[in-house]
Structure 1
């Protein structure tokens, strides 16, 4: 069809008609009988910006012209924002100002709409947040209603994400750089053929009766999605982004919204798993850094520094489990065999893009965001006003970035005022408009739950509550990914090169399997990028996709990534099904057993009226005892996973009792920290200083003083940690102790130290002077630390380890993750501003603390041995701190906070601010930074079945 802009009069008429067809008509169906709710109005939750993520063409035009937003698209944002500045005033009587009631059912005076998309299901939307409460008289009707309601709320988001998971965003939404980055990210992680997607669906039916039910649920769910697609298209109330991307003509309604298939659910599951449910895969980067340290210091001293930096099993690291249990997993053996170290300088990333033409010949750059939240268009033409919605890509930022997620605080009834457990927990899934998660209540045969699910996977509630229990998760990231080095070969016996596409496997020279995507795009209403095309090609071995190529002792090799969940993306389905089944979950132990069925790497937390529980899920493979999972491994059966079958990527997995687990520990905290004593970190971030410390200290100190928690005080502990700068609370005291070993001679530098000291004395928080001021208290000290941190880290480590090793170590883990961006480039410069809230997961926080304490002469378990800073000389290290502090003070604010399309240079608050990244045409306002779950529950059950 033509992509040329229709005339204004015709489009205005379409917009008017569209405004009358925003949603299907309601029906006056009787309200279903309420389900018994044992939380008794003591369950609350919040998910910004709002439940409704669909906007018709008319609503998009109104948003662009007038700044209006569809109902329920932003009505949870202000409540969520309010907690950062108002948590100290929180009371049980004001909790509804910060969270929404998460009770089952809808009060009669709170019913917004009641309708039946099919005779065996009734959906009630509440006035408060527009959440669908789905009541099925049959199990099929319940799943069907979930699909219909989710499509009502998030259809375009679901559509964009299934394209992203297949590596096919650009043909759908245009060739903007962010679209290309997104499809490349997920295609490289899960390059499946359609046959492999179907095979995973077929596998579900072999999981017994629960597998059969799950497959039927999934099919009914897809039927509900497709019913909404058909009705909304014919009724012209489908998402207006389909017009903006040229898929439907705004005048004639010609075009197509492609129906969903069950295999799309596998794609969405693989996308979620790649983003949130894996761990490991950094073995090549580890090997390069380790090798660099060995070259600089020799094997013995180099290994000591590497071990301290990686913090594999740091004795100072806090653990979620602290009841005396240990759960060894993922550690490096004393004398490993099969370790493969690439030749220096030989490593190169596997080529992914081939035959680029047009705009695809250009290297994608990070996309800028729109210049303002609601830019007034320069034209009155509605279609022209939509031009530019996707100039930055369908997902212009945030998705696909690797980062730790989520937090949890769970206190047992022995330490609460009521005697019942209290939990404040939720996942950090990033901030998007619309949000990746969707809220719902599901009530039907064998299903009774309410909470959040990823849109497109919401036939079960993934995180939420049942009748008398609640659960949530944090990303665990235990190592379920290994890297195997395969020798390259040529089938005809010629000498192989790094470009050879055959490899040796168990004595044979096999061709690599290739999976390809032919992606081409044309300019359309939502993308001013010129037309272009390219091929995405994944080269796969029996172990998995190739990620790098190199030489080892001069011989060419490919490094292939083996992931235990590869080809098993939907194996977790029965675990989630049990979470939703009240007959399956009657105790904490039942919940743990259900969580064991989930193959993705999550920390699961549970609370009911009497018990709390924790379980670490994941397809944790059983490795040979002499294999080092942190390093590339030789491709030899002697070093493969125990009982590994390359035909279906199955293996032996650790049994239930070897997964970190606990019931009724005094309290649990998790912020992607160490799971339990003995569990090795997959990277270098689970060490002596980690953001989980902020939670643990607040709970432990309160209990040590004889205090007890309630919903308010536990929420306040979370919120206080969520506005605190980890570097200030946990590392700055060490730096000041070294500086204070004698008076600072220079009065100007002494004044800088005093600024930092005053901020620390006030809690080291990044909070506004008053809510809405957009000015930080202690703004100068915050700016000073932001500018100082990259300078002091470089000054502390680079002279000691050398430039090459320092760079290799930053490739393993960035030195910082402050709210305003990653400071991992040149001194004082940020690399990107995330605007995504989640902060302080990655950074050299523990490494700096350990080394400075060693300089002070203190015993440091798991330290570097001889201190590195200042060559081990305390005075030289102290002088480096003072020199870099003075240099930091001279850096202009516009360089520390360089600005972007959303923020002017030097705007500190804005640089930290959270933005809801657009996946569509509706933008949202900025909110203040807080390091907090995106979806969050506050629960305390006073009774149970």
Structure 2
């Protein structure tokens, strides 16, 4: 946390602007009774750190000076953190110590505040968590109230995110390196013009009555945001970050907080979709790695290794659907046509940044630099806020595509009550304020409670209705293809690799450019020099250009064709139905509504009688001969079936072709494989994946004939959430190789015994004593953290060669540890630590398969001949022992580098979750846990 500064002038500034302290209280008539709640007190949820994400200037100063925080800004953090130590003794009576009640309504003795921002809506805040319960006498009043309440809680966050989605962070918050990286990342993914944003709104509105209703709901929501924005600015209780970023003068109140528009919602939807709702797009990296293996081993052997590494349909992979159904999608055909393999060494990224001046011309920071979560404040008076965003408004690593959620559901035939039980939620990262916001919505055609992304909360996106609950995990099936577009010269001359003309159906067309001219000045919230640059996206009808290269010597551009491009808000219809009690009366109703969501999510549903699963997404129908894992030649014969380049529409897989199921014995999802036949877009969905941790615990209890309770399902989730996947699933294979002969050296034998003891104790990363900040088996855990990158490199690099090994790490990093280290070498990948989510991406299954090959086992989907240390079993064992000794000699400071939160070598701290600030209020560290950010515990005893 930031050090406290004594700044006398701050006190004077706070006195001058004392009216910024709190918003005025508005009176309101009592809210109407909510509809009947069929959960009967058996629905709970949690979302750290707290509901309130706004802080006035005075509250920011108080936080800097005294460490205080505004009410409800951190009151869910302690409950969330406590589950790590408390889950083994969890009971039905103690569940509220770790989760908040998620019932409809607020008992009168628990009302904190009641007010009406408009005559057709009443908002009631509960005293437990400050959640807004919004009751509209009209539909418009309901969504207006949602906008008003969300702005009360998350205005600055919403404002910052709409800038990020447009690629315009630096003019808003300064030219810090992290700000530039953030705006570049999202601009590259969705380089839209304002006209295209408006056109998406018009398209949904023209789709039918539900589309028109959605447009009216969204407009009322925006009106609510702007009503609060105007009152807060006039009343001087707006978020203090507007002072820190120089947008409003703290004394005169002069300055502007720009009103929201409908197009801002499209921007926010595209940001969320890019972060959590897409899949595919790594085809260029796949091609480079595959070619490297072919060059090393020849086509036949190289292809066997590539297919085993790729794990497209690994026969050993667990999947969410296991009832005998198969759902083929995204698979590579045996004899593909139209594969566009680049010439070796020819590929280079498409330039995105042009015309650098000032600080924009400075070299980028070292990618291995530890990130700063809580930079220190400095200065005096209003200048006390100077430096708050010196390292950028957004944390490093934000904006990289995420896949970080889990779900556990057990059908009524395997529960103590006879009713389904669910524990599920999305993992959206840990931020202060949180990207999600909580709410209850009650109005004509809307009845829900749960979480939504701030700025999109006119509907509840994940939560519960009157007698059902739902949640989602990121699915990431492949809806993004890479096309190799032949470059041309419009005058018929020689073609350069830098040409901005391309061939489309025989015509030489100019690429379309979308630009952002961003400039910034030093201001109160930015200590960098002034500067400017231009962001420029080059777009073809096959999508934005991401790389350039050559194929057989001819220059090409590689483009990203995404099925949701220009359709970011189409999913609004599905979410509208989720909130409509008349639309959702059964599991099948919910599945049909989920089919209207075009982002790639796994949807889970539970009511008193049924469970259901559906995998949503705009799954394009490809030509049967096309390999979606490789770049594709841009030719009509290889395009998506029914593709219309004018509006990027195509033929899509029908409902029945999407993985779907009802009342399976149990469902688990941790971003694992959806169903047999559904190809993974990432090599992570193979023989060992973190979904195994959930599957083994739930399946084992069901096979033992032991029915589940809510408490036991929470315990299964929590136990998996503190377990090291590598220890539970790969360490046994490592030990079996080592145990093929006695260990001569006593020191090495002691190291192995320590690992064996950790595994026997569950392979968990938990404190020896609650609050001690020291792990049980700390030495074994540190040894294994240091060993993993050494053993993976030793196992594979000698066999495949340095060039292919490096190319394969660009397809998938070898590790995703809680502390953030990925491939160990700083020039390859430095992961973002302190984010909780771990063990998604990594060579876990690949290591396991090869070790079992080395032991002489017949491994389905394996590499064939062993690769480990060149393929010799004795050499493989020697390599493991040698690298284990090297790991033991690795200094703790190297395994756990220090950063702004932690001293170098502090193991617990390196793993610990830090809520990255997108604003001025920081949070305390909490224990590592691999768990959804927002989580529900659900068991409905009754149904409408």
Offset at residue 401 of structure 1 (A):
2.0
Label 1:148 to 1:827 Cα distance change in 2 as closer, same or farther (>3 A): closer
Q: Distance in 1 between matches of 2:927 and 2:446?
A: 38
Offset at residue 634 of structure 1 (A):
0.3
Matched, 1:125 2:125: yes
Offset at residue 382 of structure 1 (A):
3.4
| Alpha carbons 2:669, 2:691 under 8 Å: kept | yes
Q: Distance in 2 between matches of 1:252 and 1:860?
A: 72
Q: Distance in 1 between matches of 2:372 and 2:791?
A: 34
Matched, 1:322 2:322: yes
Tell me which residue corresponds to 1:30: 30
Alignment of 1:512-551 (within 5 A): 512-551=511-550
Matched, 1:755 2:730: no
Query: Does the residue aligned with 2:93 lie in a helix, a strand or coil?
Result: coil
| Alpha carbons 1:774, 1:909 under 8 Å: kept | yes
Tell me which residue corresponds to 1:294: 294
Offset at residue 396 of structure 1 (A):
1.9
Tell me which residue corresponds to 2:476: 477
| Alpha carbons 1:370, 1:902 under 8 Å: kept | no
Superposed CA offset, 1:341-400 (max 9, x none): 10110000000000010100023336978978595x565x33122111111111123421
Query: Does the residue aligned with 2:519 lie in a helix, a strand or coil?
Result: strand
Tell me which residue corresponds to 1:435: 434
Tell me which residue corresponds to 1:405: 404
Structure 2 residue ranges without an equivalent (≥5): 1-6
**TM-score with structure 1 setting the length:** 0.98
Q: Distance in 2 between matches of 1:197 and 1:292?
A: 41
Offset at residue 416 of structure 1 (A):
0.3
Alignment of 1:604-753 (within 5 A): 604-753=603-752
Tell me which residue corresponds to 1:16: 18
Q: Distance in 1 between matches of 2:275 and 2:826?
A: 30
Offset at residue 404 of structure 1 (A):
1.6
Q: Distance in 2 between matches of 1:370 and 1:348?
A: 27
Tell me which residue corresponds to 1:499: 498
Superposed CA offset, 1:546-601 (max 9, x none): 00000110000000000000000000001000000000000000000000000000
Tell me which residue corresponds to 1:257: 257
The count of aligned residue pairs is: 937
Alignment of 1:743-822 (within 5 A): 743-822=742-821
| Alpha carbons 2:9, 2:381 under 8 Å: kept | no
Q: Distance in 2 between matches of 1:794 and 1:306?
A: 17
Q: Distance in 2 between matches of 1:369 and 1:59?
A: 29
| Alpha carbons 1:506, 1:636 under 8 Å: kept | yes
Q: Show structure 1 runs of 4+ deviating over 4 A.
A: 5-10, 366-375, 827-830
**TM-score with structure 2 setting the length:** 0.98
Query: Does the residue aligned with 1:899 lie in a helix, a strand or coil?
Result: coil
Tell me which residue corresponds to 2:97: 97
Matched, 1:194 2:194: yes
Query: Does the residue aligned with 2:711 lie in a helix, a strand or coil?
Result: helix
| Alpha carbons 1:369, 1:392 under 8 Å: kept | no
- Deviating more after overlay: 22-31 vs 619-628: 22-31
Q: Distance in 2 between matches of 1:120 and 1:625?
A: 55
Query: Does the residue aligned with 2:619 lie in a helix, a strand or coil?
Result: coil
| Alpha carbons 1:828, 1:895 under 8 Å: kept | no
Q: Distance in 1 between matches of 2:374 and 2:916?
A: 11
Label 1:369 to 1:739 Cα distance change in 2 as closer, same or farther (>3 A): closer
Alignment of 1:359-378 (within 5 A): 359-365=359-365, 375=376
| Alpha carbons 2:415, 2:709 under 8 Å: kept | yes
Tell me which residue corresponds to 2:4: none
Superposed CA offset, 1:477-530 (max 9, x none): 000000000011111111111111110000000000000000001111111011
Q: Distance in 1 between matches of 2:837 and 2:371?
A: 22
| Alpha carbons 1:200, 1:568 under 8 Å: kept | yes
Superposed CA offset, 1:228-287 (max 9, x none): 010000000000000110101111101110000000000000000000000000000000
Offset at residue 637 of structure 1 (A):
0.3
Label 1:8 to 1:402 Cα distance change in 2 as closer, same or farther (>3 A): closer
Alignment of 1:377-396 (within 5 A): 379=379, 381-396=380-395
Q: Distance in 2 between matches of 1:28 and 1:550?
A: 64
Offset at residue 23 of structure 1 (A):
1.4
Tell me which residue corresponds to 1:163: 163
| Alpha carbons 1:788, 1:828 under 8 Å: kept | no
Superposed CA offset, 1:3-39 (max 9, x none): xx997675232342322xx113131421312221000
Q: Distance in 2 between matches of 1:858 and 1:367?
A: 39
| Alpha carbons 2:370, 2:897 under 8 Å: kept | no
Task: Please provide the CA RMSD for this pair.
Answer: 1.5
| Alpha carbons 2:368, 2:826 under 8 Å: kept | no
Offset at residue 941 of structure 1 (A):
0.2
Matched, 1:227 2:227: yes
Q: Distance in 2 between matches of 1:127 and 1:436?
A: 22
Matched, 1:41 2:32: no
| Alpha carbons 1:205, 1:212 under 8 Å: kept | yes
Tell me which residue corresponds to 1:279: 279
| Alpha carbons 1:367, 1:392 under 8 Å: kept | no
| Alpha carbons 2:406, 2:426 under 8 Å: kept | yes
Matched, 1:151 2:151: yes
Q: Distance in 2 between matches of 1:350 and 1:368?
A: 25
Q: Distance in 1 between matches of 2:492 and 2:772?
A: 71
Offset at residue 206 of structure 1 (A):
1.6
Offset at residue 138 of structure 1 (A):
0.2
| Alpha carbons 1:446, 1:581 under 8 Å: kept | yes
Label 1:821 to 1:154 Cα distance change in 2 as closer, same or farther (>3 A): same
Structure 1 residue ranges without an equivalent (≥5): none
